[in-house]
């Protein structure tokens, strides 16, 4: 993977080449996306679309064509970019806060229109960049900075599950992976590869959600964050392939 000389903006917290907090899931998930593009020989032609959230920190370290968008607008922008650059692999790499709340309409309507793009959504259960507020994916009982007593179903509703919302929708591919173990990282990489293959075959919309840790806002060590994904998050958000065009 090509990387360019890193000039860390002062706002980055760790000073490492991406700026992610130690143990952050973005480091692994974003890398999987770029590795897949590289292995498919598509990295040079690829266009990565991100928004204002922790996903944007990746783009400081990656020497590929990127489009930065306002918070929650990456999926709509990716759809527009793809319409005018049909030969390029285009993906939106976004957070769960962005794609399931402020930008939710773009997630759903890009799927309904079966836009020929790939979307990778990092489900870390919080609005990470802004300090760990409750997101649509926050679990019942989970304490966040905007739900200090824990999320309540009677007040906040239940965690939003994209696999239920898009059930039966005529899209090319929908899967959920996790990065809690090496085996699941490898499985997630296969899902992301399949998603890009669908796009390059012009089959339409492909979405891979990935369960990923945000140790900083979960108040856990990187190790315990992975345990939490295994023991709590996966119970609510099962991993696997949900939609594959032509496969019922």
Ligand X SMILES: Cc1ncc(C[n+]2csc(CCOP(=O)(O)OP(=O)(O)O)c2C)c(N)n1
Residue 174 main-chain phi, psi, to 5 deg: -145, 125
Q: How far apart are CA 63 and CA 177, in angstroms?
A: 26
Angle between helices 104-112 and 74-84 (to 10 degrees): 40
Q: Which stretch binds ligand X (CB under 6 A): 90-98, 156-164, 196-204, 232-240?
A: 90-98
Q: Copy the structure tokens of residue 22.
A: 């130690």
Does position 211 bind ligand SF4 by CB under 6 A? Answer: no
Q: Which stretch binds ligand X (CB under 6 A): 1-9, 47-55, 112-120, 181-189?
A: 47-55
Q: 110 contacts which partner out of ligand SF4, Mg ion, ligand X, none, CB within 5 to 8 A by kind? A: none
- Dihedral class, residue 132 (left if φ above 0, else alpha if ψ from -120 to 50, else beta): left
8 A C-beta contact, residue 97 and residue 126: yes
CA angle 147, 152, 156 (to 5 degrees): 80
Q: How far apart are CA 43 and CA 65, in angstroms?
A: 9
Does position 210 bind ligand SF4 by CB under 6 A? Answer: no
Site for ligand X in 117-136 (CB under 6 A): 122, 124, 126-130, 135
Does position 12 bind ligand X by CB under 6 A? Answer: no
Residue 243 main-chain phi, psi, to 5 deg: -135, 130
CB of 13 to ligand SF4, least distance (A): 7
* CA dihedral sign of residues 37, 241, 174, 203: positive
> Which residue in the set 51, 55, 96, 115 belongs to the binding site for Mg ion (CB under 5 A)?
96
Which of 18/118 has CB closer to ligand SF4? 18
Q: 177 contacts which partner out of ligand SF4, Mg ion, ligand X, none, CB within 5 to 8 A by kind? A: none
8 A C-beta contact, residue 42 and residue 234: no
Count of residues near ligand SF4 by CB under 6 A: 12
Which of 25/159 has CB closer to ligand SF4? 25
What does the binding site for ligand SF4 look like in residue numbers (CB under 6 A)? Answer: 20-21, 24, 26, 54, 124, 128-129, 214-217
What does the binding site for Mg ion look like in residue numbers (CB under 5 A)? Answer: 95-97, 124, 128
What does the binding site for ligand X look like in residue numbers (CB under 6 A)? Answer: 52-55, 70-71, 95-98, 102, 122, 124, 126-130, 135
């Amino acid at each position: 993977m090509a990387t360019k000389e890193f000039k860390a903006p002062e706002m980055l917290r760790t000073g490492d080449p991406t700026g992610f907090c130690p143990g952050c899931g973005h480091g692994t998930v974003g890398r999987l996306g770029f590795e897949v593009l590289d292995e498919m020989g598509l990295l040079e032609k690829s266009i990565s679309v991100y928004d204002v959230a922790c996903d944007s920190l990746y783009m400081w370290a990656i020497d590929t064509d990127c489009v930065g968008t306002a918070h929650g607008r990456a999926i709509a922008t990716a759809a527009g970019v793809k319409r005018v650059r049909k030969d390029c692999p285009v993906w939106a790499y976004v957070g769960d806060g962005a794609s399931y709340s402020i930008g939710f309409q773009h997630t759903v309507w890009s799927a309904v229109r079966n836009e020929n793009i790939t979307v990778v959504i990092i489900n870390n259960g919080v609005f990470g960049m802004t300090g760990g507020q409750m997101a649509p994916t926050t679990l019942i009982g989970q304490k966040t900075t905007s739900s200090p007593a824990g999320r309540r179903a009677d007040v906040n509703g239940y965690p939003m599950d994209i696999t239920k919302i898009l059930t039966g929708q005529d899209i090319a591919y929908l899967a959920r992976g996790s990065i809690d173990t090496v085996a699941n990282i490898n499985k997630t990489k296969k899902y992301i590869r399949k998603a890009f293959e669908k796009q390059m075959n012009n089959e339409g919309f492909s979405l891979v959600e990935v369960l990923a840790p945000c140790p900083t806002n979960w108040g856990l060590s990187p190790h315990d964050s992975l345990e939490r994904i295994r023991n709590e998050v996966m119970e609510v958000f099962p991993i696997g392939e949900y939609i594959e065009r032509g496969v019922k």
